[in-house]
């Protein structure tokens, strides 16, 4: 059985993604290996970090990224905002993960029953936009809501794909690394109902 302890040793971005998917399957079936979660790993990381993956995801407490991929300390560089919205600070964090940490994969992870996505859907359907700061993420998610209606697909699928495409087009370091074959970008949706992650977008630069 492969485990996320091998993430950093995976030779290609595609293989990193496959290892993550295998970890998610272990999580969903209750067969977790729980790697890299002991005090020895903590001590090892005091000298620095070398994550293989950068995940841009939602702040929702029901979506603990390391757990759902059966990973541990130092395996995943996680950036979380409501709805996984990408602003300049998030884009800069992704750039740091790619250029500064050398991650092999960037994953945009949406999820089932997302409150931020639900708020955006409600706002567009009612025409009643929030007046507080909640409006920031509603406006960022609105294009996904519109696209989902055009395509006739679930809004969270559209949001996962749009989020991944946004990262490719708005973070120059990502586009450069993709073109060089050093990085992969994936969009996916996590199902609260059964713990599984489903792919909605893949770009490995080929």
Mean pLDDT of 114-132: 91
Burial environment of residue 30 by CB neighbours within 10 A (0 to 12, 13 to 18, 19 or more): exposed
Mean pLDDT of 130-135: 88
Q: What is the 3-state secondary structure (H, E, C) of 36-53?
A: CCCHHHHHHHHHCCCCCE
Q: Is 58 annotated as a binding residue?
A: yes
pLDDT tens across 17-50, in order?
999 999 999 999 999 999 999 999 999 999 999 9
Q: What is the CA radius of gyration of the chain?
A: 17
Reported pTM: 0.93
Task: Tell me how far CA of residue 71 lies from CA of 8, 81, 104, in angstroms.
Answer: 12, 20, 16
Share of the chain above pLDDT 90, in %: 87
Q: Is 54 annotated as a binding residue?
A: no
The CATH code belonging to domain 4-203 is 3.40.1050.10
Q: Work out whether the CA dihedral 99, 100, 103, 109 comes out positive or negative.
A: negative
- pLDDT for position 2: 43
pLDDT tens across 56-101, in order?
999 999 999 999 999 999 999 999 999 999 999 999 999 999 999 9
Q: Is 111 annotated as a binding residue?
A: yes
Share of the chain above pLDDT 70, in %: 98
Task: Tell me how far CA of residue 127 lies from CA of 105, 116, 120, 176, in angstroms.
Answer: 37, 16, 10, 39
- Write down the mean pLDDT value for the chain: 94
- pLDDT for position 1: 39
């Amino acid at each position: 059985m492969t485990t996320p302890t091998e993430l950093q040793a995976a030779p290609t971005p595609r293989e990193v993604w496959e290892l993550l998917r295998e970890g998610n399957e272990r999580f969903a079936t209750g067969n977790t290996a729980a790697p890299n979660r002991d005090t020895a790993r903590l001590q090892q990381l005091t000298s620095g970090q070398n994550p293989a993956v950068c995940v841009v995801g939602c702040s929702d407490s029901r979506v603990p990224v390391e757990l759902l991929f059966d990973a541990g300390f130092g395996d995943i560089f996680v950036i979380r905002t409501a709805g996984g919205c990408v602003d300049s600070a998030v884009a800069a964090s992704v750039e740091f993960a790619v250029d500064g940490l050398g991650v092999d994969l960037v994953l945009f992870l949406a999820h089932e029953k997302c409150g931020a996505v639900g708020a955006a859907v409600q706002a567009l359907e009612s025409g009643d936009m929030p007046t507080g700061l909640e409006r920031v993420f509603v406006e960022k998610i609105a294009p996904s809501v519109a696209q989902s209606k055009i395509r006739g697909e679930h809004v969270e699928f559209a949001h996962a794909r749009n989020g991944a495409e946004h990262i490719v087009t708005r973070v120059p370091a990502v586009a450069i690394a993709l073109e060089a074959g050093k990085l992969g970008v994936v969009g996916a949706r996590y199902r609260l109902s059964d713990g599984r992650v489903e792919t909605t977008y893949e770009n490995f630069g080929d």
